[in-house]
Structure 1
Amino acid sequence: MSFEVFEKLEAKVQQAIDTITLLQMEIEELKEKNNQLAQEAQQAHGNREALERENAQLREQQSAWHERLQTLLGKMDEVN
C-alpha cells in the first residue's frame, strides 16, 4: 500500500517538475518577446522623433517659400 502511495507521489512530483519546466520555458520566451517589443518601441520612438524634426524643417521651408512668394507678389503689384 505504501508503495502505491509513493508511486502516486512520485508521479505528482514528476508532473510538477514538468509543469515548472514548461513554465520556465514560457517565461524565457516571454522575456525574449518583451525585449524585442521594447526594442521595437524604442526604434518607433526614434523614428517618430526623426519625423517630427523633418516635419518642423518642412514647415519652416514652407513658411520661407510662402514669405518669398508674398514678397514676389508684392513686387508684381508694385509694377502694375
Structure 2
Amino acid sequence: MSVAILDQLEEKIKQAVETIQLLQLEVEELKGKNEEANRSSETLRQEHEQLKTEHQNFQDRLRSLLGQIDNV
C-alpha cells in the first residue's frame, strides 16, 4: 500500500470515529429527552385520572341533587 492510500484510510477512520462520537452524544441527548417525555407523560396520565375521578364525583353529586329535587 502506498502512503497516500494509508493517509486516505486514516482520514476516513478519523471521520468515522468523529461521526460515531457525535452520534453517541446525540443518543445520550435523546435518551434524556425520552426520559423527560416519559415523566411528563406519566404526570399527564395521573392528572387525567384525577380529573376523571373528579368529573365522576361531580356527576354523582349532581345526580344526587337532581334526585332530591325530583323527590320534592
In 2: Cα distance, 1:57 partner to 1:26 partner: 46
Which letter maps to 2:58? W
Q: Identify which of 5, 10, 14 aligns with 2:7.
A: 14
1:50 aligned partner, one-letter code = T
SS at match of 2:2: helix
Q: Following TM superposition, by how much is the alpha carbon of 1:59 offset from its aligned partner in structure 2, in angstroms? A: 0.5
Tell me, yes or no, if structure 1 residue 35 matches structure 2 residue 54: no
Q: 1:36 Cα deviation (Å)?
A: 0.9
Q: Distance in 1 between matches of 2:7 and 2:34?
A: 40
Tell me if 1:55 matches 2:57.
no
TM-score with structure 2 length normalisation?
0.95
Q: CA deviation at 1:52?
A: 0.5
Give structure 1 regions of 4+ aligned residues with deviation exceeding 3 angstroms: none
Aligned length: 72
CA-based RMSD of the aligned residues comes to: 0.9
Between the aligned residues of both structures, percent identity stands at 26
Q: TM-score, normalising length from structure 1?
A: 0.86
The alpha-carbon deviation at position 66 of structure 1 amounts to 0.5
User: C-alpha distance in 2, partners of 1:62/1:47?
Assistant: 22
Matched residues in 1 for 2:15 and 2:37: separation? 33
Paired with 2:70 and 2:60, the residues of 1 have a C-alpha distance of 15
Q: Which has the larger radius of gyration?
A: 1
